Structure 1
Amino acid sequence: MRLTISEFARLVGLAPSALRFYDDCGLLPPAEVDATNGYRYYDKSQQPRAQLLRDLREIDLPLPDVRLALDAAPDEVADIVRSHLRTLEARSTATRTAATRLLTNLLSQQTTAVLGGPELASAIRQVAPTAAPAGQDNLGPALSCVLIELAPDEVTFVATDRYRLAVRTVRPVEFDGAAAQVLVRADELAEVSRWAAAGDVVRVELNGGLVLVRGDESRELRAVDAEYPAYGQILDGLTPPACRVVVDRVGLLDVLAGRDVVAFDIDQESLRIGDEVKLDAIGTGAVRIGFTASLLAAALEVSVGPDVLLEICEPARPVVVRSADQGTFTTLVMPVRLDG
């Protein structure tokens, strides 16, 4: 059954002008063209191809990729779409970063947050060690930095070296100005931790760089111009844990000392390393999982309190390390593949 271009357009959800364009591009030629008047006619069997074309264009897939996808197998089309989504997410992150930087520069009002000195020092001590060591140029300058996001409700400190991610939030005593963010080198930030701890409050000023003011003294840290990883997507992408276990933090640290890679067998009552070590635990679910001992130990060392909570989605996904005594601090640690 032949359909006019208008009829086919209504059937597949495309405008007639779009169908003419896709005919000119060779993506969706009509089944028949009247040689006398040039009218285009389509066959109903073309509906799946036209609807796939419509859906691909709705996600702004470039025409060269659309051309490949239209004649590809479903699993190949899925790979093309996933790759395009990753590109869109990266572009969106870059756009948000650029927009935030632009708004910060345009707004004349200086962003200021007043934080408790001990809280600021604690956040620095917990987050800064997770950043990559300065000088590892292969990782890019952003990973040797701490991202500080200032907003009226909370000031967030973030650091990652791609194997770990640390996030700490501090509620400001006062806030003035627009929400903004800044990247500063982790080693430079760590140097002011003890200085900040000595003050009841520290005023954090963002105006090109980062200025910390304690009484009559101040410390200025230069801003780093680099794009930071989209850590929010990582946190939002975490699935509900299949296994949760609370274990003695210091006892687990002792177990990790001097080891390279450790394999844990975890259930509701214990955390075991083979037959040699068994720690009492409280939890749900069961899993076998491996860690680089030094990475997990680093996360435990900056946690607070006698106990630590491990939330495990699956052995190949980031593990959330939480403290029962401080809900504002979260660390993610990547596990390692175990042989066998």
Structure 2
Amino acid sequence: MDDTDPLMSIGAFARRVGLAPSALRFYDDCGVLRPARVDPATGYRGYAPDQEPRAVLVRRLREAGMPLADASVVLDGAREEARAVLEAHATRARETAASAAAAIDEILRALPGGPRPTVARLGGAELASAVRQVAPAAARAAVAQEFPVLGHVLVELARQEVRLVATDRYRLAVRALRPVASEGDPGRVLVDAAELRDLASWAMRMPEVAVEVDQRGARLRGGSAERALAPVDGAFPDYRAVLDALPTARHRIIVDRSALRAAVADAGHDGPLLLRAEGRRLAIGPDAAPPALPAITTGPPVRVAFDPGVLLPALDAGVGPDVLLEISSPTGPVVVRSADQGSFTTLVMPVHDDPGPPRRP
């Protein structure tokens, strides 16, 4: 091509879009990215400026590890087909990354000297807030005596996240925290819920707290002070499987959290509390009861009943003026979220309309 040719040479185009010339030749051979023109005499490829977006998209798809067959659907298929291919690839990528991380963690633990101590540094007030939200979901009294592990809070430490989890089988609370810094191998520890609440009061006064877990046990460090944790052995329920198994929500209700809390508290604890959502109203109480709260609802009308003693702590644990209820069915776990805090999630089990014990997950 001469200097008057508006097309770019393969080298110039490769530099512009971030692909190697050899990759451009390969994509030409595969029919994914044809040049605008091929000189019949020399075989030189020329590329037009309007081909840049497609070339950049090809590069990004390949950087994401997408096979060419799937990439072709994203490039040339219908919008919904492209979305389905991208979502499926993202799911596979997450699963592959999780499997690789688990394998590496297992190898690290088997290395001589055992696993490295796990340390995560968190804001003291943030940790205290997470404990306040999660610890009330731990089992008490008879349930804790029958299932001692449920009287504890699971603290999971990973490279990018610290999670606090508690459940009494009728409610599951999960709060995720972003550490200021972390090091060492992933770790987990079970701590008595009452003990953790006491430690949270101490942590509240600290600008920053380090959570440390190693073969000797677990501890919190703040400044020059140190508070030991008393971890216990036990198999905590696989809460991740519960969360992963949640079906897609068919109904969503956003309502004033304080107003709903007051209505639940006024209902007492004598029997199931019925919630009925339709249009822009959330009715509370028996079918004939007139009180209703303004609400934003999506999905068809729905009615679901709760044990007020189980729902009330879930509302108390939230933050912000609104609460979001995500309902897949009147008999499945209901997700209770703070509209202002996506890092905290509670699952609450519904009950039958007639008096009786709450169903277990």
TM class, shorter-chain normalised? 0.5 to 0.7
Counterpart of 1:305 in structure 2 is: 320
Shift of the 103–287 alpha-carbon distance from structure 1 to 2, 3 Å rule, reads: farther
User: What is aligned with 2:172?
Assistant: 165
- Partners in 2 of 1:279 and 1:104 — Cα distance? 59
Matched, 1:272 2:283: yes
Q: Is 1:110 equivalent to 2:117 in the alignment?
A: yes
Aligned to 1:240: 248
Structure 1: how far apart are the matches of 2:252 and 2:293?
15
- 8 Å contact kept, 1:114–1:201: yes
The one-letter amino acid paired with 2:279 is Q
> Where do 1:60-209 residues align within 5 Å?
107-133=114-140, 136-207=143-214, 208-209=216-217
Runs of 4+ in 1 over 3 A off after TM superposition: 102-106, 134-139
1:272-331: CA deviation from partner (whole Å, max 9, x where unpaired): 023231000002022011000111110000100000000000011000000111110000
CA RMSD of aligned residues (A): 2.4
Q: TM-score, normalised by structure 2?
A: 0.64
Match of 2:353 in 1: 338
Inter-partner Cα distance in structure 2 for 1:106 and 1:162: 38
Q: Sort the Cα spacing of 1:245 and 1:170 in 2 relative to 1 into closer, same or farther, 3 A.
A: same
Give the 3 Å change call, closer, same or farther, for CA 215–301 of structure 1 in structure 2: same
Question: Separation in 2 of the partners of 1:105 and 1:226?
Answer: 25
Q: Helix, strand or coil: the match of 1:203?
A: strand
Cα distance between partner residues in 2 of 1:234 and 1:240: 13
Cα shift at 1:146 = 0.4
Counterpart selection for 1:223 from 214, 231, 235: 231
Match of 2:231, SS state, is coil
SS of the residue 1:314 aligns to: coil
- 8 Å contact kept, 2:115–2:185: no
Identity rate, percent: 47
**Structure 2 gaps, min length 5:** 1-102, 356-361
Q: 1:116, CA displacement in angstroms? A: 0.8
Q: Among residues 275, 278, 292, which one is paired with 2:307 in the alignment?
A: 292
1:214 to 222, 235, 243: 222
**Partner of residue 92, structure 2:** none
> Structure 1, residues 50-72: CA drift from partner, whole Å, max 9, x if none?
xxxxxxxxxxxxxxxxxxxxxxx
Q: Note if contact 2:144-2:151 (Cα within 8 Å) is conserved in structure 1.
A: no
When residues 110 and 134 of structure 1 are mapped into structure 2, their CA distance, relative to the original with a 3 A threshold, is farther
How far the C-alpha of 1:194 sits from its partner, in A, is: 1.6
Counterpart amino acid of residue 206 in structure 1: V
Shift of 1:109: 2.0
CA distance in 2, matches of 1:173, 1:268: 43
CA–CA distance in structure 1, aligned partners of residues 350 and 142 of structure 2: 25
Contact 1:245/1:268 (8 A) holds in 2: no
Counterparts of 1:265 and 1:225, CA distance in 2: 43
Residue 336 of structure 1: how far off its partner (Å): 0.2
The code of the aligned residue for 1:132 comes to A
Structure 1 residue matching 2:174: 3-state secondary structure? strand
In the aligned structure 2, how far is the partner of 1:103 from the partner of 1:211? Answer: 24
Please report how far the alpha carbon of residue 210 of structure 1 lies from its aligned counterpart in structure 2 after TM superposition: 1.8
CA contact (8 A) 1:104 1:180 kept: no
C-alpha deviation, 1:134, in angstroms: 5.8
1:329 matched to 2:344: yes
Cα distance, 1:195 vs structure 2? 1.0
Gaps of 5+ in 1: 1-95
Distance in 2 separating the partners of 1:104 and 1:169: 29
Q: Equivalent residue for 2:264?
A: 256
**TM-score w.r.t. structure 1 length?**
0.68
Distance 1:105 1:318 in 2: 44
Cα pair 1:104 1:178 within 8 Å, conserved: no
- The amino acid of 1:255's aligned partner reads A
